[in-house]
Amino acid sequence: MNQKRIYLSLLFFLFVSYSQAAIIYVDNDSQGNNTGHTWADAYHDLSTALTNANFGDVIRIDKGTYIAPNGGFVLKDGVKIYGGYNVRY
């Protein structure tokens, strides 16, 4: 495979990966369906969001205290995490 073809294949892979990226919501006070798709249905704990996140996804976390099971959270490459949102329903 020549260098140009490898480069185009890599660009295609990155485009497909990022075009399927999701925003995942976490709020330990959420009363919704615990799906992570919206603030109203946010995951109740950060560890579930991290487990379900894929490369390119963004996790948004509501203000609060999130306790890591077994002493720590496992972070994934390519997953962005933003916190400190002040979500009120």
Residues 6+ apart with CB under 8 A from 81: 58, 59, 61, 75
Distance CA 49, CA 25 (A): 8
Scanning the structure block, which residue is given the tokens 């306790």? 67
Average pLDDT over residues 14-37: 84
Q: pLDDT tens digits for 53-82?
A: 999 999 999 999 998 888 789 899 999 999
**Is residue 9 pLDDT above 90, yes or no?**
no
Distance CA 28, CA 53 (A): 17
